[in-house]
Amino acid sequence: MTNAPAPSTGWTEIIAPDEQGRYEGFARQFTDIQKRKSERWGVGRTLHRKQITGAYGTLEVLDGLPPFAQHGLFATPHVFEVWTRLSNGGMDRARDSVPDVRGFSFRVLGVKGDSALGNGPAKSQDFTLINHEAFSFSGSTEFVDFVVAASKGGGAILKHV
């Protein structure tokens, strides 16, 4: 008998009836924050504005992955080109010594197949990670509310927490 890892099946995706409208509202809020921050710091992202480094490399998909993991770009052994980005998570360009969420993302190039978003053939796939074991918010609304409050600076965040 083997103790091979297995995927979690104890979850259910719940799509709220108002989800599309809420996410459109979130996009507007993030766009507003990005405009304000870009006036101060120059053109950049809303979150993870400060890039620490970018690098080119490869991702090797090994043979022998368990069957449940053999999907998409992990279906067969292959070596892919990747671009990576390391960043500080904040909205401002703070010094690296300031405590912050650290981000790690990579874009896998040369992917073939349908896009997970349903918008035609995929040419790449993006992965984004942060240096925390678990996400700090129970849902997207709580996260966006926190970001909006934090973007105002000063005591606005204290009212939120």
pLDDT at residue 125 is higher than 70: yes
Please spell the DSSP secondary structure of 48-86, one letter per residue.
S-SEEEEEEEEEEEPTT--GGG-SGGGSS-EEEEEEEEE
What whole-number distance in Å separates Cα of residue 36 and Cα of residue 41? 9
- Quick one: what percent of the chain has pLDDT higher than 90? 32
Mean pLDDT across the stretch 125-141?
84
**Bridge partners, residue 84, by sequence:** 55, 106
pLDDT digits (tens, 9 = 90+) for 42-69: 888 877 777 778 899 999 999 999 988 8
87 bridge partner residues? 51, 103
pLDDT, the chain, mean: 84
The predicted structure's pLDDT at residue 2: 59
User: What is the crossing angle of helices 140-152 and 19-41, to 10°?
Assistant: 30
Q: What is the pLDDT of residue 117?
A: 74
pLDDT tens for residues 32-46?
999 988 888 888 887
pTM for the predicted model, two decimal places: 0.72
Percent of the chain with pLDDT over 70: 90
Beta-bridge partners for 129: 104
Strands 102-109 and 51-61: unpaired
